[in-house]
Amino acid sequence: MPPRTVVIGVDSSTQSTKAAVTDAVTGELLAVGRAPHVVTGEGGARESDPEIWWRALCDAVAAGMKESGLAASSVTGIAVAGQQHGLVVLDRSGRPLRPALLWNDTRSAPQAAALTAALGGPEAWTARTGTVPVASMTASKWQWLRENDPASAGAAAAVRLPHDFLTERLAGVAATDPGDASGTCWYSTRTGSYDPELLSLLGLDEALLPPVAATGGVRVGSLTPSAAEALGLSAGIAVAAGTGDNMSAAVGLGLGGSGLLDHPVLSLGTSGTVFAASRTRPASTALSGFAAADGTYLPLACTLNCTLAVDKVASLFGLHRDDTSPGGEAVLLPFLDGERTPDLPLSAGLLTGLRHDTTPQQLLGAAYEGAAFTVLRAMDELLRACGLDPADPEVAARPLRLIGGGAQGRTWVETVRRLSGRPLIVPAGGELVARGAAALAASAAGGGDPVAVATGWNSTSQDTELPAVERDTETWERVGSVLDRSAGPLLGG
């Protein structure tokens, strides 16, 4: 029997790193190593020291390899998928000058608004980048840094995204991919390159940015001896360009040019995210018109408040997260950290519709409804960006794939099912971001399209399929009415 060959897919998320040791031929998940991150900041600030990410990556890989029981010589490639949009500024030795500003840091909302106006409004940005600046985007954070920490901005010898920083530590060369680069608002999805006019607007020298590989599965270098020693692996194995976490999840699901196109996915995690792979370049001011990791596009909408916000409401009432009932007349919009979709960065949570007989369980149910409604409404715009009519019966009948931690929660699944009226598929197994990164690593090590690799690995026989139920239009319309009427006077829109 020939020796087993494996690849390692790394998911460097907001809260932790996971390293998935994966059979390069079959896609079997052999082991997962984990290590935590530290996030700091109060109010709108959210920061992490990138060196913690690196140490967590080393620890997670070591733990995964130990659990697998395999020798380091069996590993042929590694790829990193990272949290999107974070701003990392490095000195000439490749060391961080300051903590990284994370995707959910909302302090740059004023800079986002100013940048939007400076180019001529949302449509001008969408035409170039596919995306309008909001506080989450890297360009807004860079502008905030220039205004609030000019010493660090002026001293920057390199500007990186989180996954770029880790890939460079692995391979010793600067690299990124179209998917993660498209979340910066200085990369043009129209031209497939950095936009000189936008860089000028931002006062950002292109020489500070990493080259953009053709796909996230391109081999950009080899594991350096120093990185190999830190990870306990063999020097010289393939290092892929890698990508952003949402792009990697799409690869892991087999979404892309060699797989499923124009099929929506809803991810329920710290953020609520809906996306689809498409050959149609998205141009909607209501969405992030990202590139995908494989050369297609990945229109996406992301909300800041999802599982953590609902869990906070549960804790306020002393309830288990599944001790709920539908909200009745109550509407609870759990915008506890501001909101990105819709763009309400200064908003807070809003509760209305209380009655004498309203129960704590109904209020928790209303929090689920508010969070689910916010991301599901964005799904209709996503489908339109793919060139589809959401009301078309064929489109409405396409199953919604449900992923993320919330997909394992009974109330989340039933709330999404009730408010969407769609059939649901909950893919078997977890770690989709790490799985997608493993497919990128396999592509870098052995060639081939990463989506085709992941599609060849995937088995749907263990997926959970739930038929559609009648859509709860009464709740849908009630929550939508409250959100639309409150966006200006109460939520700060």
Pairing of strands 243-244, 75-82: parallel
How many angstroms separate the CA atoms of 57 and 59, rounded?
A: 5
SS3 call for 40: strand
Chain-centre distance for alpha carbon 332: 25
Please tell me the pTM assigned to this model. Answer: 0.89
Q: Active-site residues: which are they?
A: 245
Residue 250 has pLDDT above 80, yes or no: yes
Residue 3: per-residue pLDDT: 77
- State whether the Cα torsion 411-251-458-217 is positive or negative: negative
- First CA to last CA across the chain, in angstroms? 63
Residue 85 has pLDDT above 90, yes or no: yes
Partner residues linked to 106 by β-bridges: none
Q: Which residues contact 398 (CB under 8 A, 6 or more apart)?
A: 263, 264, 422
Q: Which tens digit of pLDDT belongs to each residue from 138-162? A: 999 999 999 999 999 999 999 999 9
Pairing of strands 331-333, 350-352: antiparallel
Residue 209's alpha-carbon distances to 88, 159, 163, in angstroms, are 11, 6, 13
Residue 2: per-residue pLDDT: 65
Residue pair 474/274 in contact by the 8 Å Cβ criterion = no
Q: Where are the beta strands (DSSP E) in 195-296?
A: 219-222, 238-240, 243-244, 265-268, 272-275, 288-291
Residue 396: per-residue pLDDT: 87
**Tokens 């590989």 sit at which residue?**
213
| More confidently predicted of 9 and 431 | 9
Residue 493's pLDDT band, with cuts at 50, 70 and 90, is low
Q: Which tens digit of pLDDT belongs to each residue from 389-400? A: 988 999 988 999
Q: Which tens digit of pLDDT belongs to each residue from 292-304? A: 999 999 999 989 8
Q: Which residues contact 487 (CB under 8 A, 6 or more apart)?
A: 342, 344, 493
Chain-centre distance for alpha carbon 271: 8
Residue pair 268/249 in contact by the 8 Å Cβ criterion = no
For the chain, the average pLDDT equals 94
Residue 26 has pLDDT above 90, yes or no: yes
